[in-house]
Structure 1
Amino acid sequence: MPSSPSDVLVTNAGRSSASTITTDMETGSHELTVSGYSGSIGLMGVGKAITSPAFSVGGHSWCILYYPDGGSEESTDWISVYLQLGNQVSDSNVLAQIRFSLLDQMGEPVPSYTVTSDKKDLSAITTHSWGWPKFIKRKELEESPHIEGDSFRISCHVTVFKIRVEETPVQFPATAPSTDLHRNLGDLLESKVGADVKLRVGQETFWAHRCVLAARSPVFKAELFGWMKEKKTAEVRIVDMEPRAFGAMLHFIYTDSLPEIDEGDRRVMAQHLLVMADRYRLERLKMICEDMLRNYIDTTTVATTLALAEQHGCRHLKERCLNFFRNPGNKMAVTATDGFEHLMSSFPSLVKDLLSKVAPLILELHRGRDSKLFLCTWK
């Protein structure tokens, strides 16, 4: 007997339970032969059935009701067929579906005379029988090749469905603990165990592991193992780097996170880290720094931040700065800052595009204030 289980897990207020829904299905059929067909016409009368012997499918008793004169006054020209359930069913989880077919001389169902019911709840069948009052017209049957020697056959196919719901033990999948890799690597950096490269930044020295640096940064990989590698000296010098920011970058390389940074230092630290992330091609760190700097854009910082974004290819940070500058209330205040003077000298074409719509105002502001520097951007 085929079945189709389905597991349901219910969780409520920290308590868990489980159940299994299983649908069992059993099929069977009964073939009824009507011999001496012509003699049965008019013999019983309308609404009178000839009952087949009982047969069993799905643990229930069934029989076919054959009405040669029709099952009602509306079907007197038809042959009616019904299936009758022989026992009471109280379980609403038991359903059945039936199919009647006229059989041809080879015993195969005739498609044009095959009918199938919906699935019915057996506990809800009040008359204990259901079928087709107009199964086939008597005239059509008598003129068809399916009746031979005053005899024809009907097949009734029954499918019984039983739905079972059972409680089942709760089985929880094994949950693996979260990875300790970043914490373990952080401990390795702090302990210096196995460190094989000394990095000199300004007056400070940092110990690290060549393999970790190479795995995280393609630039470190080339410097330590590739064609750019330095001779295996006791010390590698890192120039143009602020030691505290370099230490924060090392922490990120090992742990994929930044150390705690005081709020007052966050903007400056983010600027240093962005430069280093770009230099060592640490793309995730670069994106984190961009996001940090977006929170510190105001009239005093936007020009410096825009120059930094332009220099290091930070598209999203640059767009945020440009949007801030396009606000009419910010333009005049920004152009009066030293950062804007640096922006003009470093990226004149960017400033030219930026100020093309507000040139008269900016020229007026800078009249008498190093105007030669500003005007050179328009040549």
Structure 2
Amino acid sequence: MSSSSSSIVATSAFGSHVLKIDGYMRTKGLATGIHLRSCSFSAGGHTWHLAYLPNGDSAWNADFISFYLVLEDPPANGTPVLAQFCIALLDRAGNPVPSHTQARPVTRFAAHAAHWGFNTFIQREVLEKSRYLNLKDDSFCVCCEVNVITGFRAEDAASVAAKAAATACVRVPPSDLSQNFGELLRSELGADVRFRVDGEDFVAHRCVLAVRSPVFQAQLFGAMKEASLSAGEHCWVEMDDMRADVFRNLLHFIYTDALPTKPERQEETLIMAQHLLVAADRYGMERLKLICEDILCRHIDVSTAATTLALAEQHRCQGLKEACFQFLKKSPGSLNAVMATDGFDHLANSCPAIIKELMSRLVAAHSN
């Protein structure tokens, strides 16, 4: 009796392209849906380019910048090209910005579907307020990395094991940077700023806050604040418009890039996500804002749809807004039930324009 094993291994070829948008403010004058293209570049034996849409690809995304990867030479035999890719906003040092990096898994590029990408890559307002738009020369950069699947081959288990042994000489543990910074927050070692929030005191480190939030940077390192600190005064900040538990979770995310994992009831989780979304928008923390949007998107129901839609409209959360619209459009029963809630009355009073947009979409969906 004999036995054997083997593996199917994908082979791939990598390519990347950096696109600089030079004269960003002038491109804002283009109509929604109009795109500008990069120069062509090669990856995996194929030719590609990036499409840049400064005012989104549709009326629903008109507040966003869209980017698409376009295959210029789909195979004549109709066989799709398989590729993974990501598009990242670059900082001024040329490094990807994690909170503004979007990726797609293996995608099929073909003659009838030769372009794929991200229609809500970044809001123009977010870009314009960020440090990544170089105001000096009115420019910003993105990088697209493409990994094209070129084929598949079978390998016997011995070959796979030999390759693994050759490449796994030292086992490197995962990064513990977030744990280290979490401990820094808990220990209060070297803390130089104190917050009073809802009657409770918190201490933190100005440099950490400034690196994570442009708003904290301006608040804690402004000219008046620097003058008071140089005179030997302690840095105090009073906040009257935030709950203490919300600020505690905001600090935890600032130091660890993650939300606390303590178990909470679903209702408490959703309320905290709402409050943190408002805080993230206030302090320019886009990744935290998107995390909160994702939590709220996955818990839209009759009782939450109206208040969530109002929150999305007030804080420019396009993805969350679309998810609410889809829930309200899926059945007349859902819409009728939502309209009977107190949250819908709040939505109508606080965001009358969104009611008009909702009605317009429902009419368009019914006519189709």
| TM norm structure 1 | 0.48
Larger RCO (alpha carbons 8 Å, 6+ apart): 2
Taking structure 2 as the reference length, what is the TM-score of the superposition?
0.50
Q: Which has the larger radius of gyration?
A: 1
